[in-house]
């Protein structure tokens, strides 16, 4: 199972920046709804998890552990992409 880290990281960073910009704009307007705040909180949780997994992946040497981390990263990326489509 290959992992194209540079391309994937670049795409996900663009998604993160767009979502963060929207969340920041809503917070500044003071018009964010409970649903928007929950979505923002979930996004932040996914972002932190993704960052932690990427750090672990950088240092992982055991093939089975790398595979597990790659799957976890893919799951988070898929969830973030789905959330982006739904917002």
pTM of the model as a whole: 0.62
Give the pLDDT confidence score for residue 27 in this predicted structure.
65
Give the pLDDT confidence score for residue 78 in this predicted structure.
92
Please answer whether residues 24 and 72 qualify as being in contact, where contact means their C-beta atoms are separated by less than 8 angstroms.
Answer: no
Q: 80: exposed, middle or buried (C-beta count within 10 Å: 0-12, 13-18, 19+)?
A: buried
Query: Among all chains, which residue has been given the structure tokens 């595979």?
Result: 67
Give the pLDDT confidence score for residue 1 in this predicted structure.
44
What SS3 state is found at 52? helix
Residue numbers in the chain where pLDDT is lower than 70: 1-11, 25-32, 87
**To 10 degrees, the CA torsion angle through 18, 21, 57, 81?**
-40
Give the pLDDT confidence score for residue 30 in this predicted structure.
62
């Amino acid at each position: 199972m290959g992992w194209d880290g540079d391309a994937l990281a670049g795409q996900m960073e663009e998604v993160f920046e767009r979502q963060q910009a929207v969340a920041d704009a809503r917070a500044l307007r003071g018009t964010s709804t409970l649903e928007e705040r929950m979505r923002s909180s979930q996004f932040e949780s996914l972002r932190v998890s993704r960052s932690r997994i990427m750090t672990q992946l950088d240092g992982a040497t055991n093939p089975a552990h790398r595979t597990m981390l790659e799957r976890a990263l893919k799951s988070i990326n898929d969830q973030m992409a789905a959330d982006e489509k739904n917002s």
